[in-house]
Structure 1
Amino acid sequence: MERPYILHMFTPGKQMSPFDVNMAADAGYQVLAPYCEVDLANVTALTQDAIFSRGPKGVTRTGIFIGGRDALLAADMLKQSAAAMFKPFVVSLMADPSGAYTTAAAMVACVEAALKKHHQCGLDGLRVLVMGGLGPVGRIAGVLAAQAGAQVSLSSRSGVDLAEEGAHETGTRFGVTLHGVSGKNKELVRQSLAEADVVLTCAAAGVQVVAPDDLPFAPKVKVAADVNAVAPEGFAGVGVMDDGKPVAGTQGAVGIGALAIGNVKYQTQHRLLVRMRESEKAVSLSFGDAFETARAYLAEQAAKAAG
């Protein structure tokens, strides 16, 4: 009898995300084992329990998925789990806390594609404003944009001190430069919008961070992307289905809505889980791999559309 494909799912939270469980099952994992309230201190023991019982051949059918809601903690857990293994007991790993890694990857890849299509440029040298920048999606989207050459500011409604602290913490952790700005009131939001070429709205569902009367203060914006699928939209005028549609009230910006981003996020997460399950050699997948996968998916769709 062939050994089943087993995915051990670690989360610091009280429960594993049903979304991630469904995604893992649809990617072909036959046994899904969630472990809740996992902290950094017990990742090593759980990892070694998972790998030693199956032998060198069984580890190719074993994977570890790291969830939760903290983008930085997930990166640390991924690193800790990898460090707990040694040949030939090495299994594939993937981190995607609260879907943040794949969502941020999809968001930035969609922005990059829209810039190329509508403005004949990439992210390199552009000013990117991430609103809701201290959340898990905002932090990772900021890192990916910075890695692509953008000048990135993480905006927080909690004020400049927390924004700067979070930007420094995240930038230091992943080796990029990020700036913190305050989005505490309309005047400060408009000051940030005035300098932005790209706006990524990553605030909580149902929170509008750029209102209709803010749009005249965003004259340089080329692309606005919003991950909020709950009314009202996070960036006024960007509908959930929009995929490069001009944003009314702006001077040439195009919008990318939550469901357009969500489709790319879904395809990205699915492909990464399948890759992890099918790989004969162990892989360790993080947001950089998610970004490459999202880019590849969008390139495929563009090629199909071109005939």
Structure 2
Amino acid sequence: MERPYILHMFTPGPQMSPFDVNMAADAGYQILVPYCQVTLEGIAGLTQDAIFSRGPKGAVRTGLFIGGRDVMLADEMLEHARKSMFPPFTVSLCADPSGAYTTAAAMVACTEAALRRAGRDGLKDAQVLLLGGTGPVGRVAGVLCAREGARVTLGSRKAADAEQAARDTGARFGVSLQGASTGKAEELRAALAPADVVLAVAAAGIQVAGEADLAAAKNLRVAADINAVPPSGLAGVGAQDDARPLAGTSAVAIGALAVGNVKYQVQHRLLTRMREAERAVVFGFAEAFATAREVVAEKSR
């Protein structure tokens, strides 16, 4: 009898996301086991329980998924799990806390493609402003943009929160990020003024920039929003917009459903590739971004 495909799903939170459970089932995993309130200290023991119990042949059909909401903690957990294994006892790993890795990857890949269509060299030397940027998606998207050569600012209503998020995230992932207060209209418009790209990554149902605010962004080329709940995060950006001209600006708009379609395909491909891999693989947000680029490139053919 063939051994079943098992995915052990770890989260520091009180429950595993049903979204991730559904995605794993649709990717072909036959047995899904959630583990809640997992600590960084406990991840090594759980990993070793998973790798030793099935032997090298069974390990090929075993995967570990790391969820939660904290992108910094998820990255640490991924690293701890990886270091807890050794050949031939290795299993595949994937992290996607709160969907932030795949969502950020999709958003940045869509933005990069729009910039290239406009004649830019992708994100290189672009000024990127992330509104609501201290959250999970904002931090990861900021890192991805910075790695591609952009100058990145994380915007938040509180200057101290923005500065700390930029400092801690930049230090963790080896990039330079700036923080800025965008709580007051004059602060927001000052941050928007030099921006080539604005990414709205705040919580659902919160509009972070209105029409008058966006009018201050004279250099704007791409405005992307992950909020599908009315009102839109950026005024004038529709959920289904896919590089549609944004009225009153020189930018194109990318909406939440356009990003979400890419995000869905990225997560499905990562989980499927993890299950199908003949040797253990490790998927973090860098691999999610590479996969998002594949999906976006396929769309443009």
TM-score normalised by the chain length of structure 1: 0.97
Corresponding residue for residue 287 of structure 2: 289
Aligned-pair Cα RMSD in Å: 0.7
AA partner of residue 53 (structure 2): S
AA partner of residue 150 (structure 1): A
After superposition, give the CA deviation of every residue in 1:24-71 in whole Å (9 maximum; x if it has no partner).
000000000000000101001111111111001000000000000000
AA partner of residue 238 (structure 2): G
* Partners of 1:216 and 1:39 in 2: CA distance: 46
Corresponding residue for residue 186 of structure 2: 187
* Partners of 2:120 and 2:156 in 1: CA distance: 30
Q: What is the DSSP-based 3-state SS (H/G/I as helix, E as strand, rest coil) of the residue aligned with 2:134?
A: coil
After superposition, give the CA deviation of every residue in 1:143-189 in whole Å (9 maximum; x if it has no partner).
000000000000011x2222111101000100100000001111100
Corresponding residue for residue 199 of structure 2: 200
* Partners of 1:134 and 1:216 in 2: CA distance: 24
* Partners of 1:23 and 1:247 in 2: CA distance: 33
AA partner of residue 297 (structure 1): V
Q: What is the DSSP-based 3-state SS (H/G/I as helix, E as strand, rest coil) of the residue aligned with 1:64?
A: strand
Corresponding residue for residue 5 of structure 1: 5
After the TM superposition, list the runs of 4 or more consecutive aligned residues in structure 1 that deviate by more than 2 angstroms. 118-121
TM-score normalised by the chain length of structure 2: 0.99
Corresponding residue for residue 118 of structure 1: 118
Corresponding residue for residue 36 of structure 2: 36
1:39-188 matched pairs, under 5 angstroms? 39-157=39-157, 159-188=158-187
* Residues 128, 196 of structure 1: 8 Å contact kept: yes
AA partner of residue 288 (structure 1): A
Corresponding residue for residue 229 of structure 2: 230
1:214: Cα distance to partner? 1.1
* Partners of 2:58 and 2:290 in 1: CA distance: 28
* Partners of 1:149 and 1:29 in 2: CA distance: 37
* Partners of 2:298 and 2:212 in 1: CA distance: 38
* Partners of 1:165 and 1:193 in 2: CA distance: 20
* Residues 119, 222 of structure 1: 8 Å contact kept: no
More helix by share: 1
AA partner of residue 282 (structure 1): A
AA partner of residue 163 (structure 2): E
The alignment of Structure 1 onto Structure 2 pairs a total of residues equal to: 301
* Partners of 1:117 and 1:216 in 2: CA distance: 22
1:298: Cα distance to partner? 1.0
Task: Among all aligned residue pairs of Structure 1 and Structure 2, give the percentage whose two residues are the same amino acid.
Answer: 64
* Partners of 2:215 and 2:94 in 1: CA distance: 42
Gaps of 5+ in 1: none
1:285: Cα distance to partner? 0.3
1:120: Cα distance to partner? 3.8
Q: What is the DSSP-based 3-state SS (H/G/I as helix, E as strand, rest coil) of the residue aligned with 2:300?
A: helix
